[in-house]
Structure formats: C-alpha cells, structure tokens
Chain A
Amino acid sequence: MTYESQKVAIKYFVISAVFFGLQVILGLLLAAKYVWPDPLIGLLPFNTARAIHTNLLVVWLLFGFMGGAYYIVPEESGTELYSTKLANLQFWLLLIGGLVAVIGFLFGWTAGRPLLELPVELKWAIVVIALIFIFNIFMTMIRTKKWTAIQGMLLGGIVMLAVMWLFGIPFFKNLTLDYYYWWWVVHLWVEGAFELIAAAIMAFVLLKLTGVERQVIEKWLYIEVGLVLITGIIGTGHHYYWIGTPEYWLWWGGIFSAMEPLPILFMVFDTLNHVRHRKLEVKNRLALYWAVGCAIFHFIGAGVWGVIHTLPQVNRWTHGTQVTTSHGHMAFFGAYAMLVLTIVYFALPRLKGLEQFNQKKGFWAFWITTTSMMVMGLAFGAAGLIQSYFQRGLGIDFLTVQGFMRPWIIGVFYTGIAFLIGTLVYVLDVIGLATKESS
C-alpha cells in the first residue's frame, strides 16, 4: 500500500465477505426446500429466499469490485483518492440499501422480476450510489498524467455496468420485451461489464504479483476484452431463442455465443504464461493460487458449462432446467466469486502492511470451496440432465420428475454444507486480517 486513502477498501472487503456467508446460508435453505417439506413456507417461502440469495450475491460482488477499485485506482494513478469522504458515504449508502432491500423482500416489497427484484425506488438509489462511485473513480483517474489500459478498462466496465442497469428499471407491458431488456442487464453484465472489470483487476494483480512487463499484460488485456465484447454482445442472442423474438436469433445467438469461450481460454493461457515468466519471487502464494484457480474455474464454469447448452439444438431441451442452475453456480463462482477473493487476498494484507501473513486459513478456504463447488455443480448438472430427458424429452409431469432428481439435489445440499464451511473459514480469515494491528 502506498496511499492512505486506499484503506477505505478494507470495510468494503469485510462486508463483502459477511454477505457472502449469508448468501450461502440462504442457498442451503433453497436446496433444503427442494428436498424436504418446507416448515418455513409461511415465513420465508422459496421465492423470497431465492430473491435474497441472488441479490446478496450481486451485492457482495459489488462490494468486492468497489473495494478492489478503491485499492487499485490510487496505485495505478499514482495519487490519493479524489475523496475518501465520498468513498465512505458511498459505502454506507450501499450497505443501508442492501439491508433495506433484504428486509423489504421479507415483507413482500418486490418488483417481482427474477434477479431484478429490487423495487424501483431502490433501483434508482443504486443509480445514485453508482454515480457517486463513478465520479470518485473518474476524478481520481484524471489527476494522473498516464492513462493506463488497466484504468481505462476498469472505468469502462464500471460505466457499462451502470448504463446496462438502467434497462432493468422500467416496467414493461409486454413480457417478451421485458425479457429482451432483462437480458441487457443480466447477460451484458456477466458476459460484458463484469468481464471488463474482472480482466482489469486480474491484469493488475498479475502485474504486481509476477512483475511481468506492463506492455505485454496490457496488450493481452485489449485482445481478450475485445474478443469478449465481439462475441458477447451479439451473443446475447443465446437468450432470444424462445421468448417470442424472431428465429434469426437462433443463428446470431448460436454462432456468436459459441465463440465466447475463446477469450476465456486465452485468459487461462496468458495467466499461466505470466506466472511462468514471472520476474519476481511470489511471496503471496495464496493470492497467486486464487488468481490461477480463478482463471481455470472461470473457463470451466462459464466457458465449458456455458457452451454445452448454448446451441439452440441443445438449449431447446435444457432451457430453464437445473442444467442452467449448474452453469449459473459454476460460472458465478469461478469467474466472479473467485475474482473477489483474489483481490481481497492480494490487497488486504498489503493494506494492513503485512509483509508476511498466515496463509493457512486462506488455503483451506481455497481447497474446500473450489472442490465442493465443483461437486455441487456436477450434482446440479446430473439433476438437470434427468430433468431435460424425462420432463422435456418424454413429457413426464414436472413434480414426478422432481422426484427422480431428488438424490442429486440431496447431493447438492450436502456438498453445500461443505461449501458453507469453506465460506465461513474465509469470512473469519478476512475479519481476522482486517482487525489485525498493523505492523
């Protein structure tokens, strides 16, 4: 750490970790509702619990990205943050917004659209928070003389994130158009804006960890993100096969989205390459593990698990089954949860001025969460294959097929417990590091 103002990142990281823990607890609850009769049905029915599970996910990722940005930008720009006060204010607004949202869901205050359940008032509040954030980041960046590609990509990702969000705000009378623009938020976030932010954060971490030349890293950054957007923007069409939109989307969506794994594969190669040609001795092996693991799991979850059901011939049968759940979990975890954990394990010890720190808990968290998420993803996937075959293929009744899938969802539940243990180790580790006296 070189700049005092980078320290605001610490509280972002802590809340990110705590919300992660809560999100996973809600996930277990969802799996239990699949398997056993639901005693909580009156208090916390499945739909409410699911809204909390997914919204907490988005919020803790945002806390992680924002903390990461507040750490990275001063260092890249070579200056203190434009305003620590604004960064603090923005933290509290986001925290309060998140809590109000969760409590609101419990009382049925919802917009009732999957993943975009936030009521319209809170959606606008998020816009205000985003504007404060972008303003602060931008004002810091323009203080510098050298515009780095990492900064540009980060800013671009954040702005794209905010712009796409706007399409999730209006009420649509027509369900087809509703979903058309719903995907401008959901798809163009995870396969667009988030990828920009992830690529920028990863490039920064690799640059610092390995000491590879900036020229090389930034060149790859442009190529990869270029490919992400070239394939991913028109690739939105893989969600436009069956929602009432024209048939030509089967071609546009199928062909472009089938190329989406390409840049993700490049990221794996080039991460491994940078590590192999490192110029520095890596002291923070833990951060390196998370970074490399993230690249690989990103490729498996998003690239491989995404591409297998992206062609219309396959998607016709798997659309809206547990195959989607399997992919959703592996991709979000591999690409973005692991990304946040990478930047936290990279930045937090530095923020506390720790040259050395005990990495044991971090390694436990690494192996437990990655292994159990892999198994959980496979269990969801097995359930999804059964569902696609019996329900869509043979036309057997929905709930009857749910019975056939039950053993696999029980598997999800138990691997979910293992995952929760890994998560709790992480949460405790972050709290421990954050509250340590600086040396």
Chain B
Amino acid sequence: MEKKAARNFFIWGTVICSAVFIWLTIDTHSTIPKRTNTDKLTDEVVMGKRVWHKYNCNDCHTILGIGAYYAPDMTKVYSSRGDTWLKQFLKNPDSPDPHRRKMPNQKLTDDEINKLIAFLKWVDAIDTNQWPPKPITVAKITGAPLEETAQILKGKNVYNQNRCDLCHRIGGQGGVIGPDLSHIGAKRDTSWLAQLIKNPKSINPVTQMPAYPQLSEDEVQALVSFLAGLK
C-alpha cells in the first residue's frame, strides 16, 4: 500500500466509524428513559447523587461495576439490604472487629442519608442486562424454613439491624470472626440461644462476642426464632 492510500484508509475509516458511533449514541439516548426509569429520577435522587460525589464514595466502592474495588458494589445494595439496614449502617459503619476492613464514618446527616438511599433505590432499578450475574451455584447452605412467619421476619430484621453479620455468616454472607450460623438451629435450642445473646460470657467466659443488653425481651425472642429456624 502506498502512503497516500494508507492516509485515505486512516481518514475514511475514522470518519465512518465516528459516524456509526454517533448514530449509536443517539439511539442509546432514546432508550434511556425506559431503561433507567427517568420518571422516577426525582430531585431527591439527584441530590442523593450529589452526596455520593461529595464524599467521593466511588473511590472505594464500585457502582454499576465502575469505580474502586476496595469495598462492595452498590448497584443492588438497596434490594439486598433494604431501608432500615442502610440507615443504620450509614449512620454508623464502625465495626467491632479491629482486623476487618473499615469504612470510615462519613458523619452524614439524616437528610443526606435519606437522599443517598433514594439515589441507591433508583440505581437498583436500572436495567443492567442482568448484571451482576446470578451466582452459578447458589449453594443451598442454609436450612432456613421456606415459610417466613412474622416472628421470623422480625428476628431477621433484628439480626440485620444489629449487624450480627459483621462477625457471623449465614449461607456464606457475613464476617468470619464468629462461628457460622447457617445451621445453628440444628445444634442449639431457643433457651440456650436467648441466654447467649443476653450474656455471652455466662456461657463462654473468654468469648469475644459483645453482650446485647439493649435488645428488648421481644426482640430477643424474635431473633431466637429466626436462628432456631436455620436447620
């Protein structure tokens, strides 16, 4: 090929491909309202996005899989954790485990937290072509009963709100300092569990697990029903 032919190849190749790319961009824009639910993109969501930027969350976390890889992805965090958990966590992300990777407390105001959650809720509904993928083998490692009674659901909430998962795992989700609770119901009965939660040292004097005196009797009972169901 002569130099002149090479130059024409360069110029025309670039021009044609740029044109195709711009055409695809225009078409993509036309699909955005439906795929990202722009009707639900309220001012509150936008303000939540600004909070997200203000604290530079994206340089530790990915969202839609983009950003830094130091902390978990935020794309589906709303549906996997829910409102209450997120509020609690964003207020105080500190972990009792000194070896666990920490999220620094951003000292967010309640208002900022609400906006952030609105943003995350909107992100959760974006059509991402099924990303993140469903795990190939959703290991059936918990024996949780299929029917969740109100009592069990309440117990699960207590578990989440008090962030037991920082130390314990259920079905592979959670921390590694405490024992795995996936089948705890098969090993322990409800009264043993209730005593452990109220006063762990009465069962094992050298345990690292903190006591939870702040839980009401009601909450302990709910939590215990939830745990006892994991067989």
Contacts and interface: CB of A to CB of B under 8 A. Distances in A.
A357 to B, nearest CB: 35
Among B54, B60, B174, chain A packs the most CB atoms within 10 A around the CB of: B60
B72 interface: yes
Interface residues of A, number: 76
Contact of A215 (B3, B14, B60, B132): B3
Nearest to A239: B66
B137 to A, nearest CB: 6
A223 B6 contact: yes
Contact of B7 (A47, A222, A230, A399): A222
B56 A112 contact: yes
Given A37-B99, A46-B59, A236-B21, A320 B66 contact: yes
A112 B48 CA distance: 13
Contacts of B49: 173, 175
B133 interface: yes
B64 A179 contact: yes
Given A111-B53, A243-B128, A250-B129, A222 B3 contact: yes
Contacts of B173: 396-397
Contacts of B193: none
Nearest to B135: A395
B52 interface: yes
Nearest to B14: A229
Contacts of A396: 172-173
A224 B146 CA distance: 60
A319 B104 contact: no
B102 A397 contact: no
A394 B6 contact: no
Contacts of B126: 175-176, 243-244
B64 A175 contact: yes
A38 B102 contact: yes
Interface residues on B, range: 35 or more
A398 B60 CA distance: 13
B212 interface: no
Given A176-B32, A176-B36, A321 B69 contact: yes
B6 A41 contact: no
A244 B101 contact: no
Contact of B131 (A42, A180, A233, A316): A316
B73 interface: yes
Contacts of B18: 229, 233
The residue in B59, B62, B101 that gathers the most chain A C-beta atoms within 10 A of its C-beta is B59
B66 A112 contact: no
B67 interface: yes
A234 B99 CA distance: 45
Interface in A74-128: 108, 110-114, 117
B192 interface: no
Contacts of B24: 234, 237, 248-249, 252
Contacts of B71: 398
Contact of A393 (B28, B38, B58, B135): B135
Nearest to B46: A173
Contacts of B20: 234
Interface string B172-199: 1111100000000000000000000000
Interface of A is mostly: helix
A149 interface: yes
A246 B31 contact: yes
A407 to B, nearest CB: 16
Contacts of B81: none
Given A180-B28, A242-B65, A399 B60 contact: no
Interface in B48-96: 49-50, 52-60, 62-73
B68 A175 contact: no
Contact of A179 (B56, B66, B132): B66
B64 to A, nearest CB: 5
A352 interface: no
Contacts of A403: 176
Interface in A125-164: 149
B123 interface: yes
A219 B172 contact: no
A18 to B, nearest CB: 24
A325 interface: yes
Nearest to B136: A393
Contacts of A226: 6, 9-11, 13-14
Interface string A236-262: 110111111111111010000000000
| Across the A-B interface, the 3 shortest Cβ-Cβ residue pairs | A112-B53, A395-B135, A47-B59
Interface of A: 33-34, 37-38, 41-42, 45-48, 50-51, 108, 110-114, 117, 149, 171, 173-177, 179-180, 182, 215, 218-220, 222-223, 225-227, 229-230, 233-234, 236-237, 239-250, 252, 316-317, 319-322, 324-325, 392-400, 402-403
Given A174-B41, A229-B13, A234-B24, 4 more contacts: A174-B32, A242-B65, A243-B126, A320-B65
9 contacts: A50-B59, A50-B60, A50-B70, A223-B6, A229-B13, A234-B20, A234-B21, A246-B28, A396-B173
